[in-house]
C-alpha cells in the first residue's frame, strides 16, 4: 500500500482537481502528463468524478489516478471500482478507514489536530492528509502538531492553502511527502480548456519541488 504514496512522494506534488465534465478527462490527463506530473487526485465533489477517474484509468494508464473527498465506506468502494489506485479524505472516519484497509486500498485520511492524529495513528494510519493546511496554521502549525508523533514515521500531504509561492516551506519539512496542488488546474481553467496554462503550472511546480527537495533518479 505504501508504494503508491512513495511514488507521489517522489514527485512532491499531487494535483487536486474538481472536474465537472467527463469529456475533459483525457485532455486534462494529457496536460498533466505533458507538464511532468503523472499523478492526480480527482475529488468526489462533482457528479462527473467517477467517470473522469474511469476514463483516465482506462485510457491513460501511465497516469496514477486517485480519488479525493472519500467520506464514507461506499465512496471507497466506488472509487476503487472506478479505477482509482489510491484515495484521500478531508477527515478521519473510522469506518471509512477500515473499509480501505480491508480492501488493501491505499488511503490517506485527513487530520488537522493532535486528537485527529492520535485517532488515526492508533488505527495504523501512516500517510495523512493535513487539511485545511492554510487555515490550520500553515507549515509552523504542522511542525508543532506532528512533533509528538514523528517517531511513528508518519508522512503528510498538506492540502488547502498551498500555492506555488509557499510550496517550498511545506516541502522543507521532513515529514511532508507531497503537497496537494489545488492551484495547478482550477475548475475555471478546465472548463475553458486552458490546457497549456495547466501544463505550464505543472512544469513550474515540478521545477520548484526539485529545487527545494532534489530527488534521486527513479530506479
Asked if 65 contacts 40 with a C-beta cutoff of 8 angstroms, the reply is: yes
d(CA 30, CA 142): 33
The single residue of 129, 169, 197, 210 carrying the catalytic annotation is 129
Q: Is 34 a catalytic residue?
A: no
The residue annotated as part of the active site, out of 9, 20, 34, 41, is: 41
Residue with cell 503550472: 201
| Residue 34, Cβ density class (10 Å: 0-12 exposed, 13-18 middle, ≥19 buried) | middle
Check: CB of residue 185 under 8 Å from CB of residue 17. Answer: yes
Beta bridge partners of 89: none
Catalytic residue flag (residue 129): yes
Q: CA-to-CA distance for 206 and 35, rounded, in angstroms? A: 8
Cα dist from 174 to 8, 28, 90, 134, 189, whole Å? 15, 31, 22, 18, 32
Which residues are marked as active site?
A: 41, 129
Amino acid at each position: 500500500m505504501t508504494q503508491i504514496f512513495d511514488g507521489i512522494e517522489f514527485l512532491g506534488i499531487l494535483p487536486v482537481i474538481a472536474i465537472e465534465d467527463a469529456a475533459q478527462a483525457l485532455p486534462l490527463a494529457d496536460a498533466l502528463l505533458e507538464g511532468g506530473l503523472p499523478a492526480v487526485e480527482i475529488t468526489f465533489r462533482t457528479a462527473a468524478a467517477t467517470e473522469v477517474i474511469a476514463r483516465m484509468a482506462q485510457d491513460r494508464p501511465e497516469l496514477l489516478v486517485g480519488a479525493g473527498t472519500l467520506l464514507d465506506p461506499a465512496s471507497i468502494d466506488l472509487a476503487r471500482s472506478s479505477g482509482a489506485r489510491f484515495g484521500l479524505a478531508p477527515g478521519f472516519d473510522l469506518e471509512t478507514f477500515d473499509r480501505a484497509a480491508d480492501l488493501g486500498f491505499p488511503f490517506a485520511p485527513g487530520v488537522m489536530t493532535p486528537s485527529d492524529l492520535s485517532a488515526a495513528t492508533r488505527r495504523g494510519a501512516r500517510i495523512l492528509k493535513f487539511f485545511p493546511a492554510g487555515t490550520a496554521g500553515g507549515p509552523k502549525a504542522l511542525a508543532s502538531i506532528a512533533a509528538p508523533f514523528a517517531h511513528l514515521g508518519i508522512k503528510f500531504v498538506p492540502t488547502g492553502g498551498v500555492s506555488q509561492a509557499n510550496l517550498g516551506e511545506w516541502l522543507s519539512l521532513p515529514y511532508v511527502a507531497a503537497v496537494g496542488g489545488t492551484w495547478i488546474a482550477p475548475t475555471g481553467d478546465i472548463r475553458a480548456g486552458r490546457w497549456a496554462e495547466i501544463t505550464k503550472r505543472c512544469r513550474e511546480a515540478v521545477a520548484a519541488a526539485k529545487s527545494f527537495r532534489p530527488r534521486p533518479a527513479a530506479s
